[in-house]
Amino acid sequence: MSKLLEGSVAVITGAGRGIGRSIALAFADAGADIAICARSETALQAVKEEIESKGKTCVSQVVDIADPDAVEAFCAHIISKFQTVNILVNNAGAYLDRGSFEESNPEDWWRTIEVNVRGPYLITRHLISAMGAGAKIMNLNSGKGYSAGQNSSGYHVSKAALKMFTESLANELWSRQIEVNTIIPGPTATTTLSRQDPDSGVTTEDILDRFTNTPPAGLPAWERVKHPDEVAQLALQLASYPTGGPTGQVFSLARRPL
């Protein structure tokens, strides 16, 4: 029996760890060839080897998603290798701005916008000509892009802009039968959530253990921290819809209203 994504090419940004890594591995398991990027070469290389061990081709490149030249070179590499792109997951994200507005660092605030908004814009802009009918774009957003909480104003603003980016692309691309949707993971066991150094050796299981009985600050008791593989399941479902599936929609795994 053929696999769900056999014959597809999927590009996932920020796939060295966390949710992006889980999505890249799930898509490779489902039969897709994969292109991945992040800034850490060691992490990328490990994911590339996992993908290749599944018998799939993997293009991996060190890219800062907010750097126009690096993104252009990555996209040129992808197109020359595969000619076509069926799935683009804009996952790489920055959450540098966590404090109050008055204490915010202007560099971190703006860098958050650059990674979370300019990054998805640049890569989508360079890959769109290689995407045809039935292609899917998924943008990783957050409840914070839909309803502002306290602090982290740069993150809120960046994800709200990503919401509008997703909606405008969906409006422009439906006539080409390219579907553009939002995934909101809800709290997920990654070092972005636990605020730990990704190189500290902390594992997904450590983070899940830490939040088993106590949800992260500010979240209700009935919210649940999930494994990144659960987000990958949702991404796989969206990736495998036939042409003419949902577009301009928000798919959330949160356990509370946005």
Ligand X SMILES: NC(=O)c1ccc[n+]([C@@H]2O[C@H](COP(=O)([O-])OP(=O)(O)OC[C@H]3O[C@@H](n4cnc5c(N)ncnc54)[C@H](OP(=O)(O)O)[C@@H]3O)[C@@H](O)[C@H]2O)c1
Catalytically active residues, by annotation: 155
Task: Indicate which single residue of 24, 63, 122, 128 sits in contact with ligand X (rule: CB under 6 A).
Answer: 63
Nearer to ligand X, 13 or 166 (CB): 13
Interatomic CA distance for residues 210 and 214, integer angstroms: 8
Interatomic CA distance for residues 54 and 137, integer angstroms: 24
Task: Indicate which single residue of 30, 123, 131, 187 sits in contact with ligand X (rule: CB under 6 A).
Answer: 187
185 lies in the site for ligand X, by CB under 6 A? yes
29 lies in the site for ligand X, by CB under 6 A? no
Interatomic CA distance for residues 138 and 181, integer angstroms: 5
16 lies in the site for ligand X, by CB under 6 A? yes
Q: Restricting to residues 218-247, which ones interact with ligand X according to CB under 6 A?
A: none
Task: Indicate which single residue of 188, 204, 247, 252 sits in contact with ligand X (rule: CB under 6 A).
Answer: 188
CB of 15 to ligand X, least distance (A): 6
145 lies in the site for ligand X, by CB under 6 A? no
Q: Restricting to residues 74-103, which ones interact with ligand X according to CB under 6 A?
A: 91-94
Burial of 87 (0-12, 13-18, 19+ CB in 10 A): buried
Nearer to ligand X, 19 or 127 (CB): 19
**Which of the stretches 59-67, 79-87, 121-129, 170-178 binds ligand X when contact is defined by CB under 6 A?**
59-67
Q: What is the 3-state secondary structure (H, E, C) of the chain?
A: CCCCCCCCEEEEECCCCHHHHHHHHHHHHCCCEEEEEECCHHHHHHHHHHHHHCCCCEEEEECCCCCHHHHHHHHHHHHHHHCCCCEEEECCCCCCCCCCCCCCCHHHHHHHHHHHHHHHHHHHHHHHHHCCCCCEEEEECCHHHCCCCCCCHHHHHHHHHHHHHHHHHHHHHHHHCCEEEEEECCCECCHHHHCCCHHHCCCHHHHHHHCCCCCCCCCCCCCCCECHHHHHHHHHHHHCCCCCCCCCCEEECCCCCC
Task: Indicate which single residue of 140, 157, 160, 238 sits in contact with ligand X (rule: CB under 6 A).
Answer: 140
CB of 226 to ligand X, least distance (A): 8
40 lies in the site for ligand X, by CB under 6 A? yes
191 lies in the site for ligand X, by CB under 6 A? yes
**Which of the stretches 3-11, 37-45, 77-85, 126-134 binds ligand X when contact is defined by CB under 6 A?**
37-45
**Which of the stretches 10-18, 74-82, 203-211, 244-252 binds ligand X when contact is defined by CB under 6 A?**
10-18
Nearer to ligand X, 91 or 166 (CB): 91
120 lies in the site for ligand X, by CB under 6 A? no
* Backbone φ, ψ for residue 206 (5° rounding): -60, -45
Q: Which residues bind ligand X (CB under 6 A)?
A: 13-20, 37-40, 43, 63-66, 91-94, 115, 140, 142, 185, 187-188, 190-193
